[in-house]
Amino acid sequence: RFMQALGEAKVDELTRVEFFTSHEGLNLWYESALIRKVPRREGFYDLSTHLPWIGERTRQLDGAHVELFRGIRNPVGIKVSAKADPKEVLALAEALNPDDEPGKIVLISRMGAGAVRDGLPPLVETIKKSGRKVLWVADPMHGNTINTSNGFKTRDFDAIVQELEAVMAVHEAQGTYFGGVHFELTGDDVTECIGGAHGLTEDDLATNYATLCDPRLNYAQALEVAFRVARRWRRR
């Protein structure tokens, strides 16, 4: 009842949601097995998820992943790092969405807190000048992954927030719309990312490091970053 106590929403409103799924379309055998025609709609849909994305390492213009996903009607995400060539990203958007259908292409920047202010503006400027319709989303998790001296893969909460603030500043300067955020998080009280209001340190990671893959924000960290993003958003 935390949100209700703040006056942000009623409990019954929070128990009903539109639920969508998204994942990286990495395994093409899996994705292709679930591509179907569906009733009352034209074209083919990837029924493994609502929004598949193509990763930074598999988004080659002449690669198999782009070839598969340019044939489906789903919206498609494209992960881009600070090393991405703006002209190549534009060519990907054109290949995956030749008709420039609004909502079809989601460009997901994942650059790291220290690389956003140099790496993101050329991408945004190139897409903006082209007139292509894309949705800009930030992934502040992957570019801020570090390995600790005691052998844990982790992410720094402050770096995550810094990347988000830098992304929003770039879009404000460019006059473009920042449309969303990609987080890896859990409602459990894990100790996988350092920092946050509770001040988790590297020594705390072993307490409840439960992930089988990448480190996630825990409940308190996720709530804190949501409020910080909301406050920053209101200052626009």
| Ordered structural domains, the chain, with CATH | 18-186 (3.20.20.70)
Indicate the pTM of the whole model. 0.90
Cα separation values, 15 from 3, 31, 50, 80, 124, Å: 12, 31, 21, 34, 37
Q: What percent of the chain has pLDDT over 70?
A: 94
Q: What is the per-residue pLDDT for 207? A: 97
Separation of CA 118 from chain center: 19
Confidence of residue 3 (pLDDT cuts 50, 70, 90): low
pLDDT at residue 72 greater than cutoff 80:
yes
Q: What is the per-residue pLDDT for 235? A: 75
Confidence of residue 9 (pLDDT cuts 50, 70, 90): low
pLDDT in tens, 100-151: 999 999 999 999 999 999 999 999 999 999 999 999 999 999 999 999 998 9
- Of 116, 125, 61, 107, the closest CA to residue 83 belongs to 116
For residues 45 and 35, the answer to whether their CB atoms sit within 8 Å is yes
C-alpha dihedral sign at 101, 54, 77, 44: positive
Write the burial class of residue 225 (CB in 10 Å: 0-12 exposed, 13-18 middle, 19+ buried): buried
- Cβ neighbours around 200 below 10 Å, total: 22
- Give CA angle at 93 (90, 98), nearest 5°: 120
